[in-house]
Amino acid sequence: MGKFDEETYGYLSVKEYFADLINAGCFGGEEVVSADDLEELTGRTQEAADGKERRSTYRDLRMRLRDGTSFVLLAVENQASIDWEIPVRFMCYDAAEYKKQLDELHGKKRQRREEIGLKRSHWTEKMGAGDRLHPVYTVCFYHGEGEWNGPKSLKEVMDFGENAERWEKRFSDYPITVINAEDAKVAKNCRTELKQFLEVMGARRDREKLNRLLQDRAYENLSRETARIIAVMANLPEFLENEEQYKNQEREGYNMCQAMDELREEFRKVGMAEGRAEGRAEGRAEGRAEGRAEGRAEGRAEGRAEGIREGSEQTFVSVVRNLMKTMHFSLEQAMNAVMVPEEDRARLRELLYGTSL
């Protein structure tokens, strides 16, 4: 599991955010799930039968919701890329959950039988007409690039052959629910700081949009959990390394506007901020003629007059590499996110891969 998946797991482990995600993504913002009624289930694995062997199947996050006198089991799976096996995988996960409930039911019946002294019988321990299982709902939280264009049901990965109409209508389908982290409607339906996190997710590939977003006062006083996951997602290493520096002393939260301001300043210093084109023009016109020092003062250009080709190369390499690693960006996507000019991209490829191709 990657760093961003781990951070997301930790973030959604907070019951308020978990409940908000289910309510916003599955019920249009209606408060169906209350954080007070949730209980995180211990462990992230469960046993699944595999012939004579036993193996562990992994689920990202499981919560049990008390619904009146009964329970509902809710599971959220993080997904960074399109997976065409996901309907089968989710079906196996859920089947393992139901098998676990059956095993627990069998165990309780066995204990009762032993307490009253009945002889062992396979049938006395099986599920009866009055026994019931608790429903399982698994949700895919997709935080990859763009829209989810993978399957949303088992039927979509089936080959029904030449007589499709005959077999398809008799097929027991297995639909899945996908919540897209970039869906603006989901963010709008949120009632907690999950809204800020999802807003940033929707703007992560547009640096200018992200800059504008993180100037909103709603980002001046976020909880540590929200501030941290935004820092991981938006690639703000300064925040991750010096969290206390960004603490809002008046309201005890964390100021992501300040963190983004400092990132903008870093980009400005290496020629990646908004005035880069103007700075380069002035630097070449004036800096070359009057010296590097004056060129820097006039237009910030001499510091980056030759783009990536002069100075701060490792800063660019580090930022782009971090985006590719933590956000699963391609090289082109990472360069777009930090606005690398076309004339500098060949040099950046060479620094990263040893070739300009």
Looking at the structure, tell me whether residues 163 and 286 fall in a common domain: no
The string of DSSP letters for 175-200 reads: B-EEEETT-HHHHHH--STHHHHHHH
Q: Is 132 left (phi over 0), alpha (psi -120 to 50) or beta?
A: beta
Please tell me which residue, 165 or 58, carries the higher pLDDT value: 165
For the chain, what is the domain count?
Answer: 4
Contacts of 252 (CB under 8 A, 6+ apart): 221
Distance in angstroms (rounded) separating the CA atoms of residues 274 and 307: 14
| Residue that is last in its domain, among 184, 207, 222 | 184
Instruction: Report the pLDDT value the prediction gives residue 142, as an integer from 0 to 100.
Output: 95
The string of DSSP letters for 286-297 reads: IIHHH-HHHHHH
Instruction: Report the pLDDT value the prediction gives residue 263, as an integer from 0 to 100.
Output: 64
Q: Taking the model in full, what pTM does it have?
A: 0.72
Distance in angstroms (rounded) separating the CA atoms of residues 269 and 266: 5
pLDDT tens for 330-356 read 788 777 767 677 878 888 888 887 655
Looking at the predicted structure, is the pLDDT value of residue 99 above 80?
yes
Looking at the structure, tell me whether residues 57 and 117 fall in a common domain: yes
DSSP single-letter state for residue 95: H
Looking at the structure, tell me whether residues 35 and 127 fall in a common domain: yes
- Grouping H, G, I as helix, E, B as strand and the rest as coil, residue 148 is coil
Looking at the structure, tell me whether residues 339 and 318 fall in a common domain: yes
Tokens of 1: 């599991």
Residue 254's domain spans which residues? 193-269
Looking at the structure, tell me whether residues 286 and 145 fall in a common domain: no
pLDDT band at 155 (very low <50, low <70, confident <90, very high): very high
Mean pLDDT (whole number) for 311-325: 70
Please tell me which residue, 231 or 355, carries the higher pLDDT value: 231
| Residue that is last in its domain, among 210, 242, 269 | 269
> Dihedral (C-alpha) 278, 279, 282, 283: value to the nearest 10 degrees?
-150
260 closest CA partner among 218, 302, 291, 299: 218
Looking at the structure, tell me whether residues 344 and 295 fall in a common domain: no
